[in-house]
Amino acid sequence: MLNYIWALMILIGVVYAAVTGNMEAVTDAALGSAGEAVSLCITMAGVMGLWMGLMRIAEKSGLIAGLASGIQPFLSFMFPRIPKKHESRKYIATNFIANILGLGWACTPAGLKAMEELAKLEEERGNPAYAKDGKEGLRGRAASNEMCTFLILNTSSLQLIPVNMIVYRTQYGSANPAAVIAPAILATLFSTIIAIVYCKIKDRK
């Protein structure tokens, strides 16, 4: 995907510049942007180091695990038909918490495990498309309601503290880089609530 987006940016940029006579500006931009990427990373290194250091403490002290068990009632509400002891609940909880805390590296592995476990749940339910008889590819697997809910919540963004945004704002001279936090939390809550309502309506059918 990114392969084409990136190539198109470069190709269109150069051709358009050639047509409109902006080649000199493009030369400056190419060299300048590369340098800028490096100085941005230097700013970002400090904040990322701080944040990941704190998250490591939160992980080792059991804070993250505690949060994951704290959201079990929410999971029961969103996924009423997943059995209480099912493995998928653990991964869904970890994925949500990692999302909320902005731990990108922890979200994806837990999310992928959750999807695999949800596929197993379909197999246990006797859904023929998920049966392990070597023909599963031919039938065309449809997502289960749980998978839809899980993914819609994931794509609705759950992250509370937009660490990256704060860094970028710092780098580009914001008078108050953290000013984004409160509105970001409200906007995230709003989009997530809309997502929850939509999932509940669709799940009922």
Contact segment (CB under 8 A) with another protein among 33-41, 70-78, 79-87 equals 33-41
Rounded to whole angstroms, the Cα distance separating 83 from 86 reads 5
Is residue 91 within 8 Å of 119, Cβ to Cβ?
A: no
Question: In this complex, which beta carbon is closest to another protein, that of residue 72 or of residue 139?
Answer: 139
Q: Does 204 sit near another protein (CB under 8 A)?
A: no
Q: Does 184 sit near another protein (CB under 8 A)?
A: yes
CA nearest to 158, candidates 186, 181, 192, 190: 192
Q: Does 123 sit near another protein (CB under 8 A)?
A: no
Rounded to whole angstroms, the Cα distance separating 130 from 137 reads 9
Residues 85-114 that bind another protein (CB under 8 A): 105, 108, 111-112
Q: Does 22 sit near another protein (CB under 8 A)?
A: yes
Question: In this complex, which beta carbon is closest to another protein, that of residue 87 or of residue 174?
Answer: 174
Q: Does 65 sit near another protein (CB under 8 A)?
A: no
For residue 13, the one-letter residue type is G
Q: Calculate ∠ Cα 97-102-105, nearest 5°.
A: 90
Of 34, 73, 133, 134, the residue at the interface with another protein (CB under 8 A) is 34
